[in-house]
């Protein structure tokens, strides 16, 4: 019995060690590359531990000079933030009142929810062509605001779905007593539902931010220069060039990962609860 138990714990710890290596090794290597000197990364066989810590790639990417790589990168960082914020703001403004109706009056207009979930499943190429022609005609290409509007195709259905699930879990009795006090729809939403919804709203906003931060397809199509280009496009361009500044590419990747990874670590529990809540109850 004791032997069986010790074999079990050896196997358990072996599996855990394998898992930890699998989870962190690729990203750890990206971080190591970003702090290596360029010629440390072009050795054969590879030099696993850099000869010295070299932060020149970060300096290169984060220093603004006219028409420098840094200028484009810093602009992309700012554009990615602006676009993600705007898309999430528009989506939340549009979805909170709608989700309230869909939750409290499930019979009415329930097709709206079906349509929203359905569009979540369609590929972006289904909308991209007319959107491209429309933005070209209006002269709205390469513009953070119009990119944010386009991001609503992804973010908005997701927000309606999760926010409706969350309003479902707020007891209707609270609103009923407010009605008895003579509260109208606006007061019921703003004073009764909103305070209880805020934590969930925060979670949904963070998840939606990560989604928008991650988006590549529309950004590739609709943005091209420093006015609106986003980080994923800049990073993919860095990597697709023939250059061998591997440390620079790695540093770009590390910088772009920092906000979502920090959010992930800080809000892990809430994020997972938000994701799981979406569908399990159905």
Nearer to another protein, 55 or 118 (CB): 118
Nearer to another protein, 65 or 256 (CB): 256
Task: Decide if 272 contacts 62 (C-beta within 8 A).
Answer: no
Q: Which of residues 146-165 bind another protein (CB under 8 A)?
A: 149-150, 152-153, 156-157, 160
Nearer to another protein, 59 or 133 (CB): 133
Nearer to another protein, 192 or 249 (CB): 249
Q: Cα–Cα distances in Å, from 84 out to 76, 91, 233?
A: 12, 11, 14
Report the nearest approach of another protein to the CB of residue 244 (Å).
8
Nearer to another protein, 119 or 143 (CB): 119
Q: Which of residues 154-213 bind another protein (CB under 8 A)?
A: 156-157, 160, 185, 210, 213
Nearer to another protein, 65 or 131 (CB): 131
Q: What is the DSSP string of 72-123?
A: HHHHHHHHHHHHHHHHHHHHHHHHHHHHHHHHH-TTTTHHHHHHHHHHHHS-
- Rounded CA-CA distance 157/258 in Å is 26
Q: Which of residues 22-61 bind another protein (CB under 8 A)?
A: 22-24, 26-27, 29-30, 33, 41-46
Report the nearest approach of another protein to the CB of residue 105 (Å).
6
End-to-end alpha carbon distance in the chain = 44
Residues in the interface with another protein (CB under 8 A) total: 98
Report the nearest approach of another protein to the CB of residue 66 (Å).
26
- Rounded CA-CA distance 100/165 in Å is 10
- Rounded CA-CA distance 97/103 in Å is 10
Report the nearest approach of another protein to the CB of residue 260 (Å).
4
Nearer to another protein, 56 or 237 (CB): 237
Task: Decide if 118 contacts 156 (C-beta within 8 A).
Answer: no
Segment interacting with another protein (CB under 8 A) among 11-19, 65-73, 171-179, 195-203: 11-19
Q: Which of residues 119-148 bind another protein (CB under 8 A)?
A: 119-134
**Which of 59, 64, 109, 191 forms a contact with another protein (CB under 8 A)?**
109
Asked if residue 243 binds another protein (CB under 8 A), the reply is no
Asked if residue 115 binds another protein (CB under 8 A), the reply is yes
Q: Which of residues 60-89 bind another protein (CB under 8 A)?
A: none
Task: Decide if 248 contacts 136 (C-beta within 8 A).
Answer: no
Nearer to another protein, 85 or 132 (CB): 132
Helix %, strand %, coil % of the chain (to 5): 80, 0, 20
In 3-state terms, what secondary structure has residue 64? Answer: coil
Report the nearest approach of another protein to the CB of residue 191 (Å).
16
Task: Decide if 77 contacts 84 (C-beta within 8 A).
Answer: no
Task: Decide if 60 contacts 250 (C-beta within 8 A).
Answer: no
**Residue-wise burial string across 40-70, b where 16 or more C-beta atoms lie within 10 A, e elsewhere:** bbeeeeeeeebeeebeebbebbeeeeeeebb
């Amino acid at each position: 019995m004791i032997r069986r138990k010790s074999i079990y714990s050896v196997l358990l710890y072996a599996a855990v060690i394998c898992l930890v290596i699998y989870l962190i090794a690729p990203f750890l290597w990206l971080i190591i590359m970003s702090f290596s000197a360029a010629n440390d990364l072009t050795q054969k066989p590879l030099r696993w531990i850099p000869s010295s810590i070299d932060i020149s790639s970060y300096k290169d990417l984060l220093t603004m000079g006219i028409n420098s790589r840094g200028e484009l990168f810093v602009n992309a960082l700012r554009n990615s933030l602006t676009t993600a914020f705007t898309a999430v703001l528009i989506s939340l403004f549009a979805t909170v009142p709608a989700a309230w109706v869909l939750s409290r009056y499930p019979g009415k207009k329930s097709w709206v929810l079906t349509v929203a979930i359905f569009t979540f499943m369609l590929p972006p190429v289904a909308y991209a062509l007319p959107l491209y022609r429309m933005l070209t005609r209006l002269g709205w290409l390469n513009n953070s605001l119009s990119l944010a509007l386009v991001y609503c195709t992804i973010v908005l259905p997701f927000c309606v779905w999760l926010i409706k699930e969350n309003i479902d879990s707020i007891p209707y009795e609270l609103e009923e007593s407010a009605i008895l006090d003579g509260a109208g729809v606006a007061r019921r939403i703003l004073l009764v539902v909103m305070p209880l919804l805020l934590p969930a709203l925060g979670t949904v906003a963070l998840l939606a931010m990560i989604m928008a931060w991650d988006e590549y397809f529309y950004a590739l199509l609709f943005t091209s220069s420093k006015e609106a280009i986003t980080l994923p496009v800049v990073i993919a361009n860095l990597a697709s060039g023939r250059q061998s500044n591997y440390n620079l590419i790695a540093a770009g990747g590390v910088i772009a990962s920092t906000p979502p990874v920090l959010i992930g670590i800080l809000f892990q529990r809430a994020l997972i609860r938000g994701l799981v809540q979406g569908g399990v109850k159905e």
